[in-house]
């Protein structure tokens, strides 16, 4: 059975990392257009406010002042997700 130990351990880590990725890393309500991840400066034109929720996965969910939701960035997956999980939880 030892031949599958690494595969089983990786799957265990991946499942734990996927659950961790759903967690909220930060919440930021603002009207700034200079955030490091912001590729949508039009969302805060003329002082409009947005609420950005950053998840452990690296993805950001932005709620605009009109209630619309926009996803910024791409969520980590696979080995990249496992690596981020290990760096941030151990």
Residue range 62-79, pLDDT digits in tens: 999 999 999 999 999 999
Q: Which residue has the tokens 């039009």?
A: 42
| Domain boundaries, given as residue ranges, for the chain | 2-89
- For the chain, what percent of residues have pLDDT higher than 90? 89
Task: Locate 7 and state its tokens.
Answer: 């595969």
pLDDT band at 1 (very low <50, low <70, confident <90, very high): low
For 45, half-sphere exposure in the C-beta direction (CA atoms, 13 angstrom radius) is 5
- Cα–Cα distance measured from residue 34 to residue 17, given in angstroms and rounded to the nearest whole number: 30
């Amino acid at each position: 059975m030892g031949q599958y130990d690494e595969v089983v351990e990786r799957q265990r880590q991946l499942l734990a990392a996927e659950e961790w990725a759903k967690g909220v890393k930060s919440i930021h309500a603002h009207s700034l257009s200079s955030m490091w991840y912001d590729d949508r400066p039009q969302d805060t034109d003329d002082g409009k406010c947005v609420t950005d929720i950053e998840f452990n996965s690296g993805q950001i969910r932005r709620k605009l002042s009109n209630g619309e939701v926009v996803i910024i960035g791409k969520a980590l997956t696979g080995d990249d997700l496992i690596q981020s999980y290990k760096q941030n939880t151990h």
